Chains A and B, each alone.
Chain A
């Protein structure tokens, strides 16, 4: 692979700057940026001009990752030319008639399965039901095809997220592209670092990814109680208390965070399903544990790909971690750098949700509050 990375900020413009020459060898441009900046059509235009043959895929974020930098209000592009790997992608919008599950199915159906190795999904971050999306995808795609990706972000505003594949970035959009070819090596892992605390509560009333009641009482009230003064910052501050969810029969749990809150019906919308009858516990984060989590994800994905320094690393970390880590956010990226090595080009973003298997070979699931890493290498 040949990878180029450029960052645009309002202060400095493009760094490094464009040479003015077209690069026809680039097949894929990944871009991540804040919602406002992505809306500036001018930037996208410039990018498309420079890489006329490239597929153009990216989304809005709650923070951009370039190398070991975590930047807000920037535009990060990563231009990739593959040696032998082929790309094919599509985008499908969420609507009244097409729900998350159906979108997943349709995206999966649009991809040729011959030689398909891995699918990367960038999804809307607010209107989507992440677990349904994953279900739709996994139902259609062959079992040996791995899926990773993330839900686009909108800073801490939670108002609109933009996603595209080759089109112009739109709200309520889901994009996915498949990577084809035998030479490609893939590694991935997802790890959190949050700990549940307090009593286990039963979800007594919910619908899909909307939570109403825990133990017969309003879930929203519970959150407000625990948030205290910070309750004013909902839904963003809701990320401070993700839920650890365990279904009745299993002992493994998933983490879910809030996407939005509705005062009228006292409901809280989560990024993925919160099934009634499941057991939920509030979670808290410890900075060191979070960083350990990121490092752990790096170590496991490194091992998974074959314990060598990969060419490209796509890091999708949850906005909730950024909210806790705050000034120390970059520590988790640096920790990853330490594991992967200096040569690896790192890009990614802070998301409203991550899509990844728990470990190599497992089925894809929606996660929250994790660092999810996808490693790609052709050599």
Chain B
């Protein structure tokens, strides 16, 4: 038999015969046995080979796995995010150091690999622990869901939290959480927002914020029919400062200017607009040496020019920087809504143009965009300056208009009325210059002069021997609000030696309508001095009757507007009747002003008005003319020397 298997050979040798010859009749079976042995070897070899190869594959796969695992670990540790992997039952299967650090998880919890323990531990650190836990519970209940939210920590940190299901071949086996600290990012965002709207150097609103606010202000003005003003402010020759002293110095200089402007603006706001937050004035820096002021609601263009003037005045003082005193002036342009534009860009452009005009006109100056405004402004300005001079020069005169008793026709008093003898314009009536005087504060010296002159004149007439009359003086609201007003009145009486009962102060209804402590106090003080008090232009205000009866006044002067149309207007007649009736009830005198016709006179006499005043009887006349009138009235002889009474003594 060929190819005898070694085992069979051995077996034959051992068990049959040395020479291992196989008998012929057994050849087949031995061949079969031999084949079986051979085949068995082949089979076993194949199996062993399979085993070896499988083992090798396993080792290679393991190696790959190790590499992958190592890569995974390196990746998970290198990310700035905190990573946590949990299985469906809450066992922590993987995490990185970042996660532990972020949440300050102590080692024993980490080792326990218990997600629920870790959760309990971290709850304290959160601002909304309930919401946090709820989210986690929801996600344990819905393992297929992904999630994203932002966590707020008690220590101020802000973290993004993502999670996704962990899958092996589409089957969900757990969840991967990642946490990212975005606190710095959020802060940066806030800072960017800040930088987007605020100027870096001065912290003032920048162009964008200004435009935004201007837009809002325009909408407001449009809706409520208001005026607003945009004021452009440019520093004259700022470039020289930069060139001479360097840019750092220039920056510090700008900051200093900005500070000064801002303080002033804040004062304006505090004085005039304390109640209305949204009406706050905006001071912005547009860049370079340009500033803008947005006056969100003005009553009249003069509000803007006043602010502009104030700004100009601010630059009269030098700026002290690094021991240097630098003087700089500014050119200012004013654009008004709606006159000079109805949208942001137009207003800004026109304010800019106006500013350039100011520069052309010689700097240190403000200009309105509209020429008319400029003209008016110039006029007001010039009037104001002349007013100042006139006070010094004594260009004022008092004119006098008599009041008569309506029953007897006798003269009972005289109203003093101021006139301004302007060097160029001639005689100017009070309604032209009194408002300017009130705005500029010049009313105080003027008012004082009037009071003094009227008292002195009245005393003069008394000394001349005429029967005593009371002289009435119109008092401006500004004067009345002075703390020492009553005192100054008392002083004037002393100075002029006039008895208080021969002085009547006329206050408009509007002044008295402010029921402040000061109003009452001043009235009491005035009453205490003994002077008479009258409400001028009565019927034009909105006094409450209850309030009226508490005022210590003597006279109501019916406004001329009611008198004018007595004959034609039944309502006016009714009003007059009621005013007179009211006066009766309150025990007050009634004087009707503006009587120009006989019919008016008759009616008023009929209705029982105590006194009458008007052109019909006499227009306001100079003191010398009044003297003549007095003479006629009383047919007395007068001491001639007293005629030379000088009127202008301020």
A228 CA to B54 CA in the complex, in Å?
Answer: 14
B54 touches A327 (CB 8 A): no
Contact with A along B52-85 (1 / 0, CB 8 A): 0110011001000000000000000000000000
Q: Is B155's CB within 8 Å of the partner chain A?
A: no
A327 CA to B43 CA in the complex, in Å?
Answer: 13
Q: Which of B43, B61, B169 contacts A199 (CB 8 A)?
A: B61
Q: Is B32's CB within 8 Å of the partner chain A?
A: yes
Q: Is B47's CB within 8 Å of the partner chain A?
A: yes
A327 touches B53 (CB 8 A): no
Counting contact residues on chain A (CB < 8 A from B), the size range is 10 to 19
Taking CB atoms, residues of chain B closer than 8 Å to A240 are 46
A226 touches B49 (CB 8 A): yes
Which A residue sits closest to B33, measured CB to CB? A327
B54 touches A197 (CB 8 A): yes
B53 touches A226 (CB 8 A): yes
Instruction: Report the tally of A-B residue pairs with Cβ distances under 8 A.
Output: 34
Task: Give residues 17-50 of B contacting A (CB, 8 Å).
Answer: 32, 35-36, 39, 42-43, 45-47, 49-50
A227 CA to B43 CA in the complex, in Å?
Answer: 11
Task: Give residues 271-293 of A contacting B (CB, 8 Å).
Answer: 282, 284
B46 touches A282 (CB 8 A): no
A230 touches B46 (CB 8 A): yes
A228 touches B49 (CB 8 A): yes
Q: Is A20's CB within 8 Å of the partner chain B?
A: no
Q: Is A248's CB within 8 Å of the partner chain B?
A: yes
Shortest CB distance B61–A (Å) = 6
What is the total number of residues of chain B having a CB less than 8 Å from a CB of chain A? 17
Taking CB atoms, residues of chain A closer than 8 Å to B49 are 226, 228
Q: Which of B32, B46, B169 contacts A228 (CB 8 A)?
A: B46
Taking CB atoms, residues of chain A closer than 8 Å to B58 are 198-199
B57 touches A199 (CB 8 A): yes
Shortest CB distance B171–A (Å) = 10
B36 touches A327 (CB 8 A): yes
Given A199-B57, A199-B58, A248-B169, do A327 and B32 touch, yes or no (CB 8 Å)?
yes
Shortest CB distance A14–B (Å) = 25
Taking CB atoms, residues of chain A closer than 8 Å to B46 are 227-228, 230, 240
Task: Give residues 214-267 of A contacting B (CB, 8 Å).
Answer: 225-228, 230, 240, 248
Which A residue sits closest to B58, measured CB to CB? A199
A335 CA to B43 CA in the complex, in Å?
Answer: 23
Shortest CB distance A205–B (Å) = 19
Taking CB atoms, residues of chain A closer than 8 Å to B45 are 228
Main secondary structure of the interface of A (DSSP, over half): helix
A284 touches B169 (CB 8 A): no
Q: Is A326's CB within 8 Å of the partner chain B?
A: yes
A327 touches B50 (CB 8 A): no
Q: Which of B32, B42, B47, B57 contacts A284 (CB 8 A)?
A: B47
Shortest CB distance B154–A (Å) = 48
Which B residue sits closest to A286, measured CB to CB? B47
B39 touches A326 (CB 8 A): yes
Which B residue sits closest to A282, measured CB to CB? B50
Q: Which of A248, A284, A324 contacts B50 (CB 8 A)?
A: A284
Taking CB atoms, residues of chain A closer than 8 Å to B50 are 197-198, 226, 282, 284
Taking CB atoms, residues of chain A closer than 8 Å to B53 are 198, 225-226
A324 CA to B42 CA in the complex, in Å?
Answer: 11
A326 CA to B41 CA in the complex, in Å?
Answer: 13
Shortest CB distance A283–B (Å) = 10
A198 touches B169 (CB 8 A): no
A198 touches B57 (CB 8 A): yes
Shortest CB distance A316–B (Å) = 24
Which B residue sits closest to A328, measured CB to CB? B36
Taking CB atoms, residues of chain A closer than 8 Å to B43 are 324
B35 touches A327 (CB 8 A): yes
Shortest CB distance A26–B (Å) = 37
A240 CA to B36 CA in the complex, in Å?
Answer: 17
Taking CB atoms, residues of chain B closer than 8 Å to A225 are 53
Shortest CB distance A212–B (Å) = 20
A240 CA to B50 CA in the complex, in Å?
Answer: 11
A254 CA to B325 CA in the complex, in Å?
Answer: 100
Shortest CB distance B304–A (Å) = 80
A228 CA to B53 CA in the complex, in Å?
Answer: 11
Most buried by A among B42, B46, B57: B46
A282 CA to B42 CA in the complex, in Å?
Answer: 18
A197 CA to B54 CA in the complex, in Å?
Answer: 8
B54 touches A198 (CB 8 A): yes
Taking CB atoms, residues of chain B closer than 8 Å to A228 are 45-46, 49
Most buried by A among B35, B36, B43: B43
Shortest CB distance A151–B (Å) = 25
Taking CB atoms, residues of chain A closer than 8 Å to B57 are 198-199
A7 CA to B32 CA in the complex, in Å?
Answer: 24
Shortest CB distance B63–A (Å) = 13
Task: Give residues 380-424 of B contacting A (CB, 8 Å).
Answer: none
Most buried by A among B32, B36, B47, B50: B50
A326 CA to B42 CA in the complex, in Å?
Answer: 12
Which B residue sits closest to A324, measured CB to CB? B43
Taking CB atoms, residues of chain A closer than 8 Å to B32 are 327
A226 CA to B53 CA in the complex, in Å?
Answer: 7
Shortest CB distance A214–B (Å) = 12
Taking CB atoms, residues of chain A closer than 8 Å to B47 are 284
A197 CA to B35 CA in the complex, in Å?
Answer: 27
Which B residue sits closest to A326, measured CB to CB? B39
A199 CA to B42 CA in the complex, in Å?
Answer: 23
A79 CA to B204 CA in the complex, in Å?
Answer: 111
Taking CB atoms, residues of chain B closer than 8 Å to A326 are 35-36, 39
Taking CB atoms, residues of chain B closer than 8 Å to A198 are 50, 53-54, 57-58
A248 CA to B53 CA in the complex, in Å?
Answer: 25
Shortest CB distance B162–A (Å) = 28
Shortest CB distance B582–A (Å) = 102
Which A residue sits closest to B43, measured CB to CB? A324
A282 CA to B46 CA in the complex, in Å?
Answer: 13
A199 CA to B62 CA in the complex, in Å?
Answer: 11
Shortest CB distance B62–A (Å) = 11
Shortest CB distance A233–B (Å) = 11
A227 CA to B47 CA in the complex, in Å?
Answer: 10
A226 CA to B61 CA in the complex, in Å?
Answer: 17
A230 CA to B49 CA in the complex, in Å?
Answer: 12
A230 CA to B46 CA in the complex, in Å?
Answer: 9
A275 CA to B45 CA in the complex, in Å?
Answer: 32
Which B residue sits closest to A199, measured CB to CB? B57
A227 CA to B49 CA in the complex, in Å?
Answer: 8
Shortest CB distance A248–B (Å) = 7
Task: Give residues 136-186 of A contacting B (CB, 8 Å).
Answer: none
Which B residue sits closest to A237, measured CB to CB? B46
Taking CB atoms, residues of chain B closer than 8 Å to A226 are 49-50, 53
Which A residue sits closest to B32, measured CB to CB? A327
Taking CB atoms, residues of chain A closer than 8 Å to B36 are 326-327
Shortest CB distance A324–B (Å) = 8
Shortest CB distance B335–A (Å) = 75
Shortest CB distance B201–A (Å) = 64
Taking CB atoms, residues of chain B closer than 8 Å to A324 are 43
Contact with B along A182-209 (1 / 0, CB 8 A): 0000000000000001110000000000
The 8 A-B residue pairs with the shortest CB-CB distance, nearest first, are: A198-B54, A228-B49, A327-B36, A199-B57, A326-B39, A226-B53, A226-B50, A199-B61
**What are 10 A-B residue pairs whose CB atoms fall within 8 Å in the complex?**
A197-B50, A198-B53, A198-B54, A199-B54, A199-B57, A227-B46, A284-B50, A326-B35, A326-B39, A327-B35
Contacts A197-B54, A226-B53, A230-B46 known; 19 new A-B pairs at CB < 8 A: A197-B50, A198-B57, A198-B58, A199-B54, A199-B58, A199-B61, A225-B53, A227-B46, A228-B45, A228-B46, A230-B42, A248-B169, A282-B50, A284-B47, A324-B43, A326-B36, A327-B35, A327-B36, A327-B39
B interface vs A, CB < 8 Å? 32, 35-36, 39, 42-43, 45-47, 49-50, 53-54, 57-58, 61, 169
